[in-house]
Amino acid sequence: MRMIKKIFITIFLFQLSFLNTLSARPAPDSFADLAEKLMPSVVNISTTQTIKTTNNPFPFQFPPGSPFEEMFKDFNQPTERKASSLGSGFIVDKEGTVITNNHVINNAEDIVVRVGEKEYKAKIVGADPYMDIAVLKIESKDTFTPVKFGDSDKARVGDWVMAIGNPFGLGGTVTAGIISARNRDINLTRYDDFIQTDASINQGNSGGPLFNMDGDVVGINTAIIAPNQSGSIGIGFAIPSNAASSVIDQLVKFGETKRGWLGVRIQEVTKEIADVEKLKNTEGALVASVGEKSPAEKAGLQPGDIILKFDGQKIDTMRTLPKLVSRTEVGKTVELEIWRDKKLITKKLTLGRLESSEDFKAENKPVNPKKEESEIEVLKITVRDVSPQDIESRKLDKKTEGVVILEIGNKSPLTGLLQAGDIILEVQKNKVSSADDLNKQIETINKKGEQTLLLTIINNNNQRRYLGVKIN
């Protein structure tokens, strides 16, 4: 009997401990107290801008000199109209500094901020289109009620959050939900790293705050997925407060951002590439190309390098590197750990500034002059040698050698990966001088029993890329 009691007590204590763990952060009975406290810090933003249009009710134009040209000239006169847009924001100091999205105030001529029942004019302190953040200043000597940023890194999937904003012009609207996911990339900005929430967010919520249950801002509501322009379906996205804070500090201090710049184009390290490079894991960022006169070039980085660490921080995926670089102070000297030729090396470089750099903008389409064609049987593709015309028309390096893909067969291992016009430069990082050379190299690789090719290519947008391809 004593033993049974002991077991029962043990089980009871375990259950009690388990239940306490589960109910450590229960759902709130009400959001009312928190909403009431935070509402004075959330603002409605309305903007106006002038749009120029041409008034022409006819689906045609009269030729110059036509007798009808003078008669109907008034119909082609440009006209102006005022357009307005709505958004949300929140106050972060007593002087009336307001945070919102850049797209809320972009091209605005007049900005009106509504705080409670009062309206104020506001001016733009600074804006950042890369992360879609803007800082405004209310033009008033009134004292305002601010909110503070929380630590978004501590926000967990499943945590309760609350959004306050101005959806469809209905100011002071409160919605609640949970954090559904983190680190979302939806191809909206250069530095996507969104918090996903199921708290209802709609048109007009942009720029508004996403609060945790302590009343701290953990995100800036920015976007939703809304099929067919319908309302919220429970998939909204917010910029994490930790990512936004550094940008906001720069905008307040300088009126603009000053991001670090490395000067490389990167791509994902796939399993195939990791196998060829003898990397244990698919980690790091593969350097596809190095910008001319960039910090990376000056430090000796090369295409094909795999950056594993930046300033002591591990690069888990390709997406990690741009975020770390952008948040690093311009002019800072950092150390990189690089995987090159199956060995680990280190490089030191001094970061430049992204905003003053030349970005890679080669958009010329290839020209395919008539030239002798060759079949690459293993890859089931038709190619020709790179010509002087290719180099000139695509503004390639004058020493460029390789083959231009003309056609990709249905059963080619390159189907869906490459397209006609792409140029193969290297195989296993060995230069390809011609179609014959490419065939010989692939033949040698086949004889060695290697199952994966590492191709270095230039795509139709003149971007240098690496591609791992299974051939056996």
Residue 96 to residue 120: CA distance in whole angstroms: 10
Q: Taking the CA atoms of 175, 176, 180 and 184 in sequence, report the sign of the dihedral they define.
A: positive
Which among 427, 419, 58, 92 has a CA at the least distance from the CA of 245? 92
Q: Chain centroid to CA 320: how far?
A: 11
First-to-last C-alpha distance (Å) of the chain: 69
103, 180, 192, 385: the catalytic one is 103
SS3 454: strand
| CB-count exposure of residue 426 (10 Å: 0-12, 13-18, 19+) | buried
Q: Tell me, yes or no, if 88 is annotated catalytic.
A: no
DSSP string, 306-341: EEEEETTEE--STTHHHHHHHTSPTT-EEEEEEEET
Which among 154, 369, 125, 373 has a CA at the least distance from the CA of 255? 125
46, 85, 132, 192: the catalytic one is 132
Q: Tell me, yes or no, if 206 is annotated catalytic.
A: yes
Residue 239 to residue 149: CA distance in whole angstroms: 12
The encoded tokens of residue 424 equal 């193969």
Q: Taking the CA atoms of 316, 322, 325 and 327 in sequence, report the sign of the dihedral they define.
A: negative
85, 152, 206, 232: the catalytic one is 206
Residue with tokens 């905003």: 355
Q: Tell me, yes or no, if 216 is annotated catalytic.
A: no
Non-local CB neighbours of 22 within 8 Å, separated by 6+ positions: none
Q: Longest Cα pair distance anywhere in the chain, in angstroms?
A: 114
The encoded tokens of residue 21 equal 């763990």
Q: Which positions are catalytic?
A: 103, 132, 206
